Structure formats: structure tokens, C-alpha cells
A = this chain, B = another copy of it.
Amino acid sequence: MDFSHSPKAQEMMARVKAFMDKHIIPNERAYYEQLGPDHGDWAKWKVSPLMEEWKAMAKAEGLWNLFLPDEEYGAGLSNRDYAPLAEIMGYTPFASEAFNCSAPDTGNMEVLVKYGSPEQKKKWLEPLLEGTIRSVFFMTEPGVASSDATNMEATCVVEGNEVVINGRKWWSSNVGHPNCKIGIFMGVTDPNAHRHARHSMVLVPLDTPGVKIERMLPVFGRYDMPEGHGEVSFTNVRVPISNIIAGPGRGFEIAQGRLGPGRIHHCMRLIGVAERALKHLCERATSRVAFGKPLANLGGNRDIIANSRLDIDCARLLTMKAAYLMDTVGVFGALTEISAIKVVAPNVALKVIDAAIQIHGGGGVSDDFPLAALYGYARTLRLADGPDEVHRGMIAKYELKKYEAKTHK
């Protein structure tokens, strides 16, 4: 066992950290000021000029597409080597975009690298890799419990040379971004096929007739400008059959492969979030005085700090192990571990953020500190990409398999 980072990872960590410290962290407030006060009228959302500057700089420095293990298209880093970079970026909610590493583009690019046709790559992967356009993933639906994928109701039916798309999706993150041009839509193509061969993934340009953003959904009252989370209706949307990725019926298979790295990325960013919350907590604990003592010396605050450190370190190790397994045995050999971190990381982050809010008093629930906003972000990740309950169910299923063969069901 060796818990040290590879020399390559260490070098990249230093460079990404320096970029964050120099460019992004000191300009967090300036970035939000460029966006203006949060609101849900997405047609008026705009891109921050700062972000465009950062993107240009990061690209110039080679800090670009770091998430992509494919050496031809991306940085060629293993999951183990990318993980600490995602943690560093996670400090600032919007930082990943500066490195062209933000969801859902990352997952969409991976899908196109692995399954895209040459034409699909040319048309959509290239501008995504360049950072000139952004993308969306249309999966979850408002009318059904999406934790059970077989509930999916939206359809993408093949008619001749076309695919006809109908249905309603929500939590379509990033759909409000002014640069968002393309979506990957998942729907039912053949309801009579085996349950893992019913769905297809289809590339849908957002300007295709019949695609309509109905509204943006707030998360704990915030719209996450300029990306947003949209509810989108599809009414007899027609795209060429060549827009299906890897052919009809392969949606489920692609989705499974897509979600592994995405979950790791989310979790590493959340660990960065948790570290930030602990930093704010400790800064407050050592600088604020009540009853004649710094808060750090009052009541159970040191226990809270210690438990935060414990929990964060556990979550990071578990995530690194999942990354290690993905690198060495692949997504399907790491399913338990991926589900594990998907449960652990958001809950750890929420616990630390909540403790940080509490020690900040009224300031903690306001926007004078980033804590309340981070809470909303982390809370959502107990639901996105499968709720805790589904992941716990998976872990238990694998655990019980060791015993069930021997006994009755």
C-alpha cells in the first residue's frame, strides 16, 4: 500500500492550486458580481467575462480537460491522479469550468470519446473539448421516481431515418448556460426489449424544433446562474438517426459507464467543499470570542472539529480507493465503492458545512459566507446520480450476495 500521490499528480496539484490561489479564489466575489443577483429568468443570464479569461489562461497553461483519461483527447490522467485536482477545484463552486472540467460536460465528453461516431465527435466533441460550447444531459423526469430507471417515460422512437423524441425531463443542469448547445437525451426506444436494452441515448441540439425550456428550478431558493437546472419538454422532436449514440438500445449500458467517473468527480469536489467548510469553521473558532474565550475553547467545538477531520479523511480515502479500483479493474469492479462514496461524501460535506454554519451564527445562514450556498449544493448531491437509498441498496445487495447463495432467499 502506498498512500502518496504520484509525482505527476503532485506536480499537477501544485499547478492547479496555484491557479486557484492566484486567479479564482481572490475573485470569487467579483465573479458573482459580474453575474448579478440570482434570479430564475434564464433568458437574461450571461457568461462572466472573468470565466472566459480564466478558461483562456488555464488552456494556455495546459490545465485543461484534466478529467479525461484518454490521452488523445484529454490530459490522460488516471482517476487517482485527477481526484486531488477535483478536490482542489471543488473549493470554489464554479471553478471546474475554468479548467473545462465541469459537469455535465465531463460525462458527456467521456460518452462521446468512448461511444461517439467520427461525425458525432467532429460535430460535438471537438467544440466541447475546446470549451466553445457547453452541454446538458436529459435524464431525470418529473412525473416518476427516477431512482428506478425503469420508470422512465420519455421516448425516442426510430422512424425511418429519424428519431422522434417526446417527453419531459427536469434537473437538466447547465441547460440555461448561454453556451449550452447540445444535449444527450435518454429515453425509451423499445419498451418490449430486455430492461437493459430498452433505452437509447440521442444527441439533441437545443435549437431543434419541439425542444422547450419550460422553467428553471431553484435549489434551496437559488438558480445557480448561469448554468441552472431546467425542466424541458420534448414534443415530436425529430433528429437524424445518426444522432443516436452507439446505436438504439444501448442507453442503459452507456449510462452505467458514464456515471462512475462522474460520481468520483462529484465526491472529490465535495471533499474540497468539506475542507473549505472546516477551514471557515476553524478560522471562526480561533478568531471569535464569547464568554471570554475563543469559540474553539467553548463546549463541544473541538469535538466537532475533530469529527470533521475524521470524517473528511475517511471520505477522501474511500474516494481514492474507488478511483484506484476504477483505474485498475474498471467501473464494474468498483460498483460497491462508487456507491459507497456517493453516500459518504455528500453526507460528510453536509455535516461539516452545517457545523460551520452553526459556529458562524447568523452570518452562517446568510450570503456573507459561502456556507449556506454550499449546503444547498451538497444537499442536492444526496439525490443527484441516485439517492442515498438506492446506493445503500446496491451496497447491501453486494454484501448479502456473499451469504445468500448458501441459504434460502
A interface, CB within 8 angstroms of B: 1-6, 37-40, 80, 140, 142, 144-148, 151, 170-171, 217-222, 278-279, 282-283, 285-291, 294-296, 298-303, 305-307, 309-310, 313-315, 317-318, 320-321, 323-325, 336-337, 340, 343-344, 357-358, 361-368, 372-373, 375-376, 379-380, 382-384, 387-389, 391-397, 399-400, 402-404, 406-409
Contacts and interface: CB of A to CB of B under 8 A. Distances in A.
Contacts of A294: 408-409
The 5 closest A-B pairs by CB, nearest first: A300-B300, A302-B396, A306-B392, A314-B314, A145-B290
A50 B144 CA distance: 34
How many copies of this chain?
4
Nearest to A219: B365
A146 B361 contact: yes
B221 A376 contact: yes
Contact of A2 (B2, B295, B317, B408): B2
Q: Which residue, of A80, A299, A387, A403, has the highest number of chain B Cβ atoms within 10 A?
A: A299
Summarize A's interface: helix, strand, loop or mixed: helix
Contact of A344 (B290, B310, B336, B380): B310
A191 to B, nearest CB: 16
A39 to B, nearest CB: 7
Contacts of A364: 383
Contact of A361 (B147, B289, B365, B379): B147
A310 B387 contact: no
7 contacts: A221-B367, A221-B376, A278-B399, A306-B393, A310-B395, A361-B387, A364-B383
A392 B303 contact: yes
B309 A317 contact: no
B314 A403 contact: no
A220 B375 contact: yes
Contacts of A324: 1-3
Nearest to A388: B358
Given A286-B409, A294-B408, A361-B383, 9 more contacts: A170-B362, A220-B376, A221-B373, A282-B403, A287-B408, A299-B300, A362-B384, A365-B376, A365-B383
